[in-house]
Structure 1
Amino acid sequence: MTSDKQAKEPDAGSDHEADADLDVPTLSADDAVSPESPILEATDPGGRRLSRNPSYSEGSSHNDDWNSLPPLDRLTIFDFLDNLALPQQLEKLQKGITAQKEKVKRSRDAFKSTTQQARDRMVEEWRRRVPSADEQLERYKKRMRRRVDKLGQQWSDTKVIGIRDKISFICGVMNIFISGYLIGAFPQYFHLWYTAQLVYFLPLRFWTYHRQGYHYFVADLCYFVNVLLTLSMWAFPSSKRLFTATYGLAFGNNAASIVMWRNSLVFHSLDKVTSLFIHIMPCVTLHCLVHLMPLEQQEQRFPAIWTIKNSVPGSPTAYANVASMLAWSTFPYAVWQLSYFFLITVRRRDKIAAGRPTSFTWLRRSYSNTWIGKLVLSLPDSLQEPTYMMIQYSYAVLTMLPCPLWFNNQHASSAFLLVLFAWSVYNGSTYYIDVFGKRFQKELEAMKAEVSKWQSASDLAVQSPTLSPRPDDAPAQTSNRKDAHSTGATPQDKEDVVRRPTSGKQYFD
């Protein structure tokens, strides 16, 4: 632009000469504002037109540097201020970073201080709660004194054996005594003694078993036999067939169940005394009615027994043979078995599957390792119950085969009852020796383990030094030791902890 003005405007000296010779045209306002550059023809041979403005479009590096800046005629003071504001922004960012670093450092110091305080509080709490060696010794002695007292009470006192067990023990012993006395002195009244006990034991058994969920056992054959004997004595004393069936089932399956069900004479257990009564007392009662009752009273009070006993072999009333006993015993047995199957096994199948025990489930579990148990369990589930029923009936038939011998021979019947009673006494002695002996042995082993544990704890407490996280806590530890010694613990007591006590309660007193 400067060159254009210089070209268009002549010197001051030459202006007067031009005004004199030439008529200078006057430009309009539009032409003066935006004059057009003259187009110069190319002087090179190729005929290329040249521009007066320099061009750096061919890749000059100076073009990139200057494109970011406005033209010089458009530069303002704000452009210079923007260039000066960049260092200020960097300085502001640096200050923010520094402030964040200081904040993080303060947070770290605060967390470190809080952690240290928490650790100190934990150490103080631990030192306050952990007892000293003397306190642990006193606790050990008190604990052992209580254990010895408890063991003495369990062995000599009557807290384990309740009032019900005491009464059961007395009743069991008195039952044996009274039963033996009646058998020897007044056998004609033994059936009264049996009936009185039956009225007491059966409702009690049903109530206790129903409360425990065992009431399906009350539907077993042994209870059915007791009901048949009651009907034969009090409702149908003249029925020879009912008496024959009752005698065969009582001396057969019911008596053999003492061996199978492991009935035992345990005087203090009401449950075991009741089970033995249900299985052996019908046999004893029938033995008194058949062999020990005077014939006059037998003929008058129980004509069915007197008729069968005095019948000629081969006569219509001679039921004291194997065929008659098996035949007439099978009929009530079939009634009981079918009733049990449909009323218990079928109608209560869901409850049995849920865990309600029955005689079949008990026998299947108890004899699962025997050959007969393996045989039943090898069958499908639908055939196990019928197979068990057939095995049970076969077992009942086998046990009823010698029943005519028990009926016709008093000495054989007495020997058979003696064997049954001795078997139950043997089971009871096994229970007392094994169960009570093992129970007392477990109690002693538990006490020995507890003594060893407390001995180890006391040894560690005596040998391990007291932790002192800060040196300034030494006076407090000294005062704690003095307080502990003031309770009465001595070094001799510490030595006694290591040794096993040999005098029981006397050692702690």
Structure 2
Amino acid sequence: MAGLQVAPAAAPTPPQPANPARMLGRQPTLRDRLDSVGHDLQHRLEPLLSAADIAVGEMANFLDTPAAVEEALSEQRPLEVPPSPAAAAGPPSGAEARQAAAAEAQLVRAAGVWVDPQKIMLQDKLAFVLGVCNVVVTAFWVGRWPETYHHFWLLKDVLLFSLRFLVYRKSGMHYMMFEYCYFGNALGLYHLFLRPDSAFLRRFAFAVMSGPLMWSIIAMRNSLVFHDGDKLTTLMMHASPALSAWCMRWHPQPEWTAGMQAAQLAEWNSATWLQMAVVPAALNVGWAVAYFLLIFVFFNKRIQERGYQNMFTAMVTRPSARKSALARLVLSAPRRLQPVTYLAMHTFASWLSLLPTKIWFDHYWAHTAITAAVLLVSVWNGASFYFRVFARKMMREQAQREAAAADGKKAA
């Protein structure tokens, strides 16, 4: 017994985090693995995203609603005019005193422009002026230089999408910018600026631009409302690609086909039903898969916790959207399958819009007529918006006049 040795006790094993799949006695599924990867990615990106939130939020204060502007300005200290070197050295002369007084008055007037609620209307006025100018410049550009219209399109995309991101980020709506139409814009610009000689990309981009993007004007009821920057941006996102598809098909730049053989040029200007109605659907399928992973797997927890909006919540789960046939159909599916149902319907509708694109590609007048008709629908929607607003205002004023007349009769 004296030679018997007792083995040292093993160190206690630290408790391992519970694995739901192991606790249930099954192997982790692909969804479990994706959820684990998504949570880990979110944990690593959280500090960076939080820092970006603060920086972008400060920039968006001056591009959001008047209330946000007033809130930002209310935190500013009163304006102070720094003394000039001459003033610091001694009493100012008469001319220097007048210059200092003029500078101070100018700063006070500038501050008054920002904090006066009446001046906030300037934002709507500027949007109206820019909206009218956009229509005029677009019509002139397409008529005068149709082969270069995509340059104007790129300028509008960069400017309006940047402003939209800042405003949407402030409102928690920035995940809406993962929508299919933004990828369609990127595809069209990539083809026109980097690979305009590619026959494959020419057909692919034309089908997307004159199919799902153009028909979104009708499906989403885009409206030509000049004073509303968000409505103008949404219309531009769909109308500019449709116009660029018309320009690039019927007014290509000579440099695009320079050096092509006759057979290459014939292929560049031809298309089959398969090439126009089936192959471009790959973009929508790829987008649907990426969208599902980003919105409903990787960033789903972040979106839910912070109450961020995306197109699924806007068109399906929002209380005011539940009355639509689309929302009722999606909500009739089991809860876990509702995102898949929504994306499947989106993909199917996009594919339907691709079916007639070969007709637009082959026939000039058919393409011109359908493009003009769809753009005219946006003008009609804008007219309906304006006159609906004006009609309500007129009815309200008429009711006030009738009430005032009735009160006058009673007083008499």
Note if 1:299 corresponds to 2:253.
Answer: no
Find the aligned partners of 1:419 and 1:234 in 2 and give their Cα distance. Answer: 28
1:208 to 141, 148, 167: 167
Which residue type is aligned with residue 290 of structure 1? Answer: R
Q: Could you tell me which residue of structure 1 aligns to residue 391 of structure 2?
A: 437
Q: Any gaps of 5 or more consecutive residues in structure 2? A: 1-116
SS in 1 for 2:227: coil
Which residue type is aligned with residue 431 of structure 1? Answer: F
Note if 1:342 corresponds to 2:293.
Answer: yes
Which residue type is aligned with residue 407 of structure 1? Answer: F
Is the contact between residue 196 and residue 256 of structure 2 (CA under 8 Å) also seen in structure 1?
no
Q: How many pairs were matched up?
A: 293
Find the aligned partners of 2:294 and 2:270 in 1 and give their Cα distance. Answer: 32
How does the TM-score come out when normalised to structure 2? Answer: 0.64
> How far is 1:437 from its partner?
2.7
Is the contact between residue 308 and residue 320 of structure 1 (CA under 8 Å) also seen in structure 2?
no
Is the contact between residue 308 and residue 319 of structure 1 (CA under 8 Å) also seen in structure 2?
no
Which residue type is aligned with residue 299 of structure 1? Answer: T
Find the aligned partners of 1:242 and 1:208 in 2 and give their Cα distance. Answer: 33
Note if 1:181 corresponds to 2:140.
Answer: yes
SS in 2 for 1:310: helix
> How far is 1:394 from its partner?
0.9
Is the contact between residue 241 and residue 328 of structure 1 (CA under 8 Å) also seen in structure 2?
no
Q: Deviations over 1:23-45 (max 9, x none)?
A: xxxxxxxxxxxxxxxxxxxxxxx
Q: Could you tell me which residue of structure 2 aligns to residue 411 of structure 1?
A: 365
Q: Deviations over 1:253-301 (max 9, x none)?
A: 111111121110011111111110001101101211111246x344249
Find the aligned partners of 1:360 and 1:343 in 2 and give their Cα distance. Answer: 13
Residues 235/307 of structure 1: CA separation in 2 closer, same or farther (3 Å cut): farther
Residues 190/382 of structure 1: CA separation in 2 closer, same or farther (3 Å cut): same
Is the contact between residue 284 and residue 350 of structure 2 (CA under 8 Å) also seen in structure 1?
no
2:127 to 164, 168, 186: 168
Note if 1:379 corresponds to 2:333.
Answer: yes
Note if 1:400 corresponds to 2:400.
Answer: no
Q: Could you tell me which residue of structure 1 aligns to residue 275 of structure 2?
A: 324
Note if 1:271 corresponds to 2:217.
Answer: no
Is the contact between residue 257 and residue 279 of structure 1 (CA under 8 Å) also seen in structure 2?
yes
Q: Could you tell me which residue of structure 2 aligns to residue 14 of structure 1?
A: none
> How far is 1:349 from its partner?
2.2
Which residue type is aligned with residue 232 of structure 1? Answer: H
SS in 1 for 2:279: helix
Q: Could you tell me which residue of structure 1 aligns to residue 411 of structure 2?
A: 498
Find the aligned partners of 1:165 and 1:396 in 2 and give their Cα distance. Answer: 34
Q: Could you tell me which residue of structure 2 aligns to residue 357 of structure 1?
A: 309
Find the aligned partners of 2:123 and 2:210 in 1 and give their Cα distance. Answer: 31
> How far is 1:186 from its partner?
1.9
Report matched runs for 1:43-442 at 5 Å: 159=118, 162-293=121-252, 296-300=254-258, 310-311=266-267, 320-353=271-304, 355-364=307-316, 365=318, 368-439=322-393, 441-442=395-396
Which residue type is aligned with residue 355 of structure 2? Answer: L
> How far is 1:428 from its partner?
0.3
How does the TM-score come out when normalised to structure 1? Answer: 0.52
Is the contact between residue 309 and residue 320 of structure 1 (CA under 8 Å) also seen in structure 2?
no
Report matched runs for 1:16-27 at 5 Å: none
Residues 448/345 of structure 1: CA separation in 2 closer, same or farther (3 Å cut): farther
Find the aligned partners of 1:350 and 1:442 in 2 and give their Cα distance. Answer: 45
Is the contact between residue 215 and residue 353 of structure 2 (CA under 8 Å) also seen in structure 1?
yes
Residues 207/444 of structure 1: CA separation in 2 closer, same or farther (3 Å cut): farther
Q: Could you tell me which residue of structure 1 aligns to residue 3 of structure 2?
A: none
Find the aligned partners of 1:160 and 1:379 in 2 and give their Cα distance. Answer: 49
Find the aligned partners of 1:203 and 1:307 in 2 and give their Cα distance. Answer: 42
Find the aligned partners of 1:164 and 1:308 in 2 and give their Cα distance. Answer: 51
Is the contact between residue 147 and residue 248 of structure 2 (CA under 8 Å) also seen in structure 1?
yes
Find the aligned partners of 1:207 and 1:332 in 2 and give their Cα distance. Answer: 27
Find the aligned partners of 1:251 and 1:308 in 2 and give their Cα distance. Answer: 23
SS in 1 for 2:369: helix
Which residue type is aligned with residue 122 of structure 2? Answer: I
SS in 2 for 1:328: coil
Q: Which has the larger radius of gyration?
A: 1
Percent identity, aligned pairs only, is 28
Q: Deviations over 1:107-149 (max 9, x none)?
A: xxxxxxxxxxxxxxxxxxxxxxxxxxxxxxxxxxxxxxxxxxx
Q: Deviations over 1:465-496 (max 9, x none)?
A: xxxxxxxxxxxxxxxxxxxxxxxxxxxxxx99
Find the aligned partners of 2:235 and 2:350 in 1 and give their Cα distance. Answer: 19
RMSD between superposed Cα atoms in Å: 3.1
